[in-house]
Amino acid sequence: MPRSRSEKSKNGEMVMKERIETDSLGTICVPADAYWGAQTERSRRNFRIGAGQEMMPQEVIEAFAYVKKGAALANRELAAEKMSEEKCRLIGEAADEILAGKLWEHFPLVVFQTGSGTQTNMNINEVIANRGNELAGRRLLHPNDDVNMSQSSNDTFPAAMRIAAVRALEETLLPALERMIGTLRTLETQHEGIIKVGRTHLQDAVPIRFSQEISGWRSSLMRDREIIRLLLDPLRELPLGGTAVGTGLNAPIGFDKLAAEKISAVSQKSFRPAKNKFHALTSLDELVAAHGAVKGLACDCMKMANDIRLLASGPRCGLGEIRIPANEPGSSIMPGKINPTQCEQMTMVAVQVMANDTAVGMAASQGQLELNVFLPVCIYNFLQSVRLLADSLDSFRQNCAEGIRANVEKMQENLNRSLMLVTALSPAVGYEKAARTAGRAFEKGISLKEACLELGYLGPDEIDVLLDPGKMV
């Protein structure tokens, strides 16, 4: 295949070199140095949507490389008369080049294309066939007959979706989440023993250790991690072997099981055949559930980031109970202003993930008869959520969480002024008298001890024992 994309004409201008490719609709010109073929080129021309920004995710392309390599290995065992050793080797070598990132420029298709992802499947088939033929030095591989043997776009694209989702969760999001949990655990240890005001409804509440407050954030993320891990398992079922409508037409018996085993081996991830291919081609409930867990993590990240920016508000006219790193100037007009920008990026990412969950759910609802035709937009949003949230967690951890420090003086000041310490008096004097004590203290601007003494409910020594914050946590 020619490798030069352009050449000089007689007048010195650069002109595009092209070749002619053929498919069932006829002939079409393709850039000479492109590994893709006719079907990819038609899709590239027909779907100019998104100004080149919403491209088919690289994770999906890589997942397809595993599908094609695994399928070739399975076909080699089950249909050796068609899948020769040389063909199998060439498909595997081309797939490995895709996984190594060497051929990324040969996947030019956007997300908003056919809802089954057929043209992306053909893009993969054509690139692997043409690259394999180049390696062989002759035309040996056919995109449909060889690279797509025993497969259909209708089972390969949803299979690639599940493989991409598993890899993204296991290799990107869960490690970032683990790092964030470790940082929060360190913060707990660093701030052990510091007592501060608790708050409910954004109003003063009974005391809490700062380490306990941090532990709430950590435990939320740990529960999210647990749920994501649980929901990974259904994603491991691949619809390969169902071919066009779930019946397995044109696939040899046992292909589904063997292909899943080969994909597991080459990807070093665990996959298995879907028990019911008719379900697997039409339903995306596993992706909906897994993305729901990702959204749950986004919700907890939103809460944690909002807590931190409230606690850090000020520096003089807010709560000011913690200090966070000053990463950049916060205002173009107010000198010296510092904003909680890492909290803001995390909450914006959380909003995007929540919005993506709507798109994933709506796409999953569009299964019609034997196929869902909203596959590309579903996996696009799923992978964007995972990618954004993982990056957000790492950015927040490195640029904010690791630098959180308690403003102990401010915490102590607020604690001593809190009227809700009166809760500890309630068992001794009763709810009504305790409420009157708090009301008297607030109205007159005096301490709880002074108010309780004025009302004559308890003696000074009794009050001091009961109002010890260390005994309330």
Which domain covers residue 43, as residue numbers? 21-149
Query: Is 2 among the domain residues?
Result: no
User: 304 and 349 share a domain?
Assistant: yes
pLDDT in the model for residue 13 = 62
pLDDT for residue 188 is more than 90 = yes
Average pLDDT over residues 184-213: 97
Give residue-wise pLDDT tens across range 332-357. Answer: 999 999 999 999 999 999 999 999 99
Query: Is 206 among the domain residues?
Result: yes
Least reliable range by pLDDT among 97-101, 262-266, 419-423: 419-423
User: 204 and 242 share a domain?
Assistant: yes
- CATH code, domain carrying 142: 1.10.275.10
- Token pair of 173, please? 């999001």
List strand residue ranges (DSSP E) for 58-182, in order.
none
User: 139 and 190 share a domain?
Assistant: no
User: 40 and 137 share a domain?
Assistant: yes
pLDDT in the model for residue 14 = 56
Give the number of C-alpha atoms closer than 13 A to the C-alpha of residue 395, restricted to the C-beta side. Answer: 18
**Distance from C-alpha of 149 to C-alpha of 403, rounded to nearest angstrom:** 55
User: 82 and 196 share a domain?
Assistant: no
CB 125 within 8 A of CB 147: yes
Query: Is 108 among the domain residues?
Result: yes
Average pLDDT over residues 133-146: 98
Q: Tell me the percentage of the chain whose pLDDT exceeds 70.
A: 97
3-state class of 219 per DSSP?
A: helix
- CATH code, domain carrying 284: 1.20.200.10
The active-site residue, picked from 6, 219, 270, 331, is: 331
CB 149 within 8 A of CB 75: yes
Query: Is 307 among the domain residues?
Result: yes
- CATH code, domain carrying 438: 1.10.40.30
- Final residue of a structural domain among 84, 118, 149: 149
Structural domain count, the chain: 3
Give residue-wise pLDDT tens across range 456-466. Answer: 999 999 999 99
> For the stretch 296-314, what's the b/e string if a residue is b when 16 or more beta carbons lie within 10 angstroms of its beta carbon?
bbbebbbebbebbbbbbee
Cα dihedral 252/254/258/263 (nearest 10): 60
Whether residue 175 has a cis bond before it, omega within 30° of 0: no
Query: Is 268 among the domain residues?
Result: no
User: Among this protein's residues, is 270 annotated catalytic?
Assistant: no
- Token pair of 13, please? 């201008």
User: 357 and 300 share a domain?
Assistant: yes
Query: Is 14 among the domain residues?
Result: no
pLDDT in the model for residue 419 = 93
Query: Is 41 among the domain residues?
Result: yes
The active-site residue, picked from 24, 201, 283, 385, is: 201
User: 181 and 129 share a domain?
Assistant: no
Neighbouring C-beta atoms of residue 334, cutoff 10 Å: 9
State the burial class of residue 419 (Cβ atoms within 10 Å of its Cβ: 0-12, 13-18, 19+): middle
- Final residue of a structural domain among 353, 381, 406: 406
User: 191 and 212 share a domain?
Assistant: yes
Query: Is 270 among the domain residues?
Result: no
User: 424 and 393 share a domain?
Assistant: no
User: 86 and 202 share a domain?
Assistant: no
User: 222 and 104 share a domain?
Assistant: no
User: Among this protein's residues, is 279 annotated catalytic?
Assistant: no
User: 142 and 65 share a domain?
Assistant: yes
pTM as predicted: 0.94
Q: How confident is the model at residue 7 (pLDDT cuts 50, 70, 90)?
A: low
- Final residue of a structural domain among 375, 406, 437: 406
